[in-house]
Amino acid sequence: MVQDFKRGVDGAKHTGGVNMSLGKAFCVVCASEDELTKDRLCVPCFKERTTLSKLPDTIQGFRCPKCMMYMHDGRWGHHESDEYHQGLVEEKLEVENRADALGIAIMTEEIDERNTRLSVQVTGLIDGVQFEDIHSSITRISNSVCPTCTRKAGNYFEATVQLRSSGRKLTEDELTSLRGTFDTYLESIDPDPMFFISKEGKVAGGFDVVLGSKALARGWTKHLLRRFGGTSKETNSVVGRKDGEDLTRLTISYRKPAFNLRDVIRRQGRYWLIFAWQKDGAVISSIDRQERTGLTWRDLEKTSVESEAKDHLEVEILKRDSSAADFMDPNDWKVRTVSLPYDDDGSQATLHIALIADEWVALPGMNGGEVNE
């Protein structure tokens, strides 16, 4: 600028007093020659004509009174109250799209159970000009029954899983452990609004669980098969038509085998442990030597359990030699001797023992051998 001025003076000696602002940029609104933005507005005029953000005075939220889920972005889910307010603000806040370096701070003050006063500070830069807004809004949370609860209330269901035992009645313990896997299974998978129990209860011969989703029924059954072995059978029944397609309900009959992993069975005069489940039966592992074989469900049904896994004991070895060990019989506190299992490596401090045909037998597998789960 200084140079231009000098040259001007040098080049036109007699024309002193020319308009110095000629050609210089100025605000198109107020003609101010202060620093201008891209739009050729001075900062005050730019600020007057530009809005960083907008937020409604009241923001409507919805909460299901039955399950306390909140509706956010068109979806139902569980949220902490603060997190929910933040989500609503982010959903409703309109921000000028040229803005960057955006900062949002929210202060909440509960008015009553349904209404919360929010003070929302929004800061950002537009074309390099710093903006700050303070919005004060009220969120109002109204009741709205979510689709899951609506369906539950209407006893909606798609599938029934029947828990049964093959050949005998399910015991109370078995029932508890079978049913218990439902909750852990549900926690392990992605949530879905249709994943709920519509009804459940004891029936003759077992326990029925009525579910909101066929996919859930199938998924849980697979989980049961992996965990407890057994068989499952699917039946579909047509209950009506909707949009030109058959509306069906699924029934899955799950049969838990009358055996558990590590139960001892007798087969061809020898004793075996149930080692693992497979699709068509079990893998059994011999107690007296390293040997494994497969049994079909049909084969299994012909065998009997000699010692159930839940009755096995873990005892401390009091004294051992190369082939036998002493332990204290917890039934009468007498010291007894038992042959060491074939896979004993001499380092174990305890033994797993089972009472088979009135004799204590030390079991292989858990004493340094393979542990199956």
Using rule CB under 5 A, residue 30 touches Zn ion? yes
Stretch that binds Zn ion, among 62-70, 88-96, 238-246, 312-320 (CB under 5 A): 62-70
Residue 209 binding Zn ion, by CB under 5 A: no
The minimum distance between CB 211 and Zn ion, in angstroms, equals: 17
User: CB of residue 363 vs Zn ion: minimum separation in angstroms?
Assistant: 49
Q: Which two tokens stand for residue 251?
A: 């029934």
If binding means CB under 5 A, how many residues of this protein chain bind Zn ion?
Answer: 11
Residue with tokens 């068109």: 74
Stretch that binds Zn ion, among 41-49, 77-85, 253-261, 265-273 (CB under 5 A): 41-49
Least distance from Zn ion to the Cβ atom of residue 24, Å: 14
Residue 106 touches Zn ion, criterion: CB under 5 A: no
**Residue 283 binds to Zn ion (criterion: CB under 5 A):** no
Give the pairing of strands 245-256 and 159-165: parallel
Q: Rule CB under 5 A: choose which of 26, 37, 50, 67 binds Zn ion.
A: 67
Say whether residue 25 binds Zn ion (CB under 5 A): no
Binding residues for Zn ion restricted to 148-177, rule: CB under 5 A: 149
Q: Smallest distance, Å, CB 29 to Zn ion? A: 5
Q: Which CB sits closer to Zn ion, 42 or 338?
A: 42
Beta carbon nearer to Zn ion, 63 or 262: 63
Instruction: Give the integer Cα–Cα distance in Å for 184 and 188.
Output: 6
The H-or-E segment that residue 235 falls in is strand 231-242
Of 155, 197, 170, the C-alpha closest to 254 is: 170
- CB of residue 151 to Zn ion, shortest distance in Å: 10
Least gap, CB of 208 to Zn ion (angstroms) = 23
351 Cβ neighbours under 8 A, 6+ residues apart: 314, 315, 317, 325, 327, 338, 340, 341, 362, 363, 367
Which of residues 10 and 80 has its CB atom nearest to Zn ion in the complex? 80
Q: What is the signed CA dihedral for 5, 10, 12, 17, rounded to 10 degrees?
A: 40
Instruction: State which residue, 43 or 125, has the beta carbon closest to Zn ion.
Output: 43
- Choose, by CB under 5 A, the member of 26, 36, 66, 223 that binds Zn ion: 66
Please list the residues that pair with 26 across neighbouring strands.
none
Instruction: Please report, in angstroms and rounded to a whole number, the separation of the first and last CA atoms in the chain.
Output: 84
- With contact defined as beta carbons under 8 Å apart, do 28 and 46 qualify? no
Residue with tokens 């689709």: 147
Locus of tokens 């609506």: 150
Tell me whether residue 45 or residue 163 sits nearer to Zn ion (CB atom).
45
Near Zn ion in 295-334, by CB under 5 A: none
141 binds Zn ion (CB under 5 A): no
| Out of 26, 29, 320, 336, the residue judged to bind Zn ion by CB under 5 A | 29
For 282, the token pair is 């079990």
Tell me the window of 100-108, 145-153, 183-191, 224-232 that interacts with Zn ion (CB under 5 A).
145-153
Closer residue to Zn ion, CB minimum distance, 64 or 217: 64
Q: Taking the complex as a whole, how short is the minimal distance between the CB of residue 118 and Zn ion, in angstroms?
A: 25
Minimum CB distance to Zn ion, residue 64 (Å): 3
Q: Does 216 bind Zn ion (CB under 5 A)?
A: no
Question: Helix/strand/coil (H, E, C) string of 95-107?
Answer: ECCCCEEEEEEEE
Residue 315, helix vs strand vs coil: strand
The two beta strands, 100-110 and 334-339, are: unpaired
Residue 27 binds Zn ion, judged by CB under 5 A: yes
CA separation, residue 42 to residues 28, 77, 123, 194 (Å): 8, 47, 20, 57
Q: Rule CB under 5 A: say whether 276 interacts with Zn ion.
A: no
146 makes contact with Zn ion (CB under 5 A) = yes
The burial class, CB within 10 Å (0-12 / 13-18 / 19+), for 65 is exposed
Site of interaction with Zn ion (CB under 5 A): 27, 29-30, 32, 42, 45, 64, 66-67, 146, 149
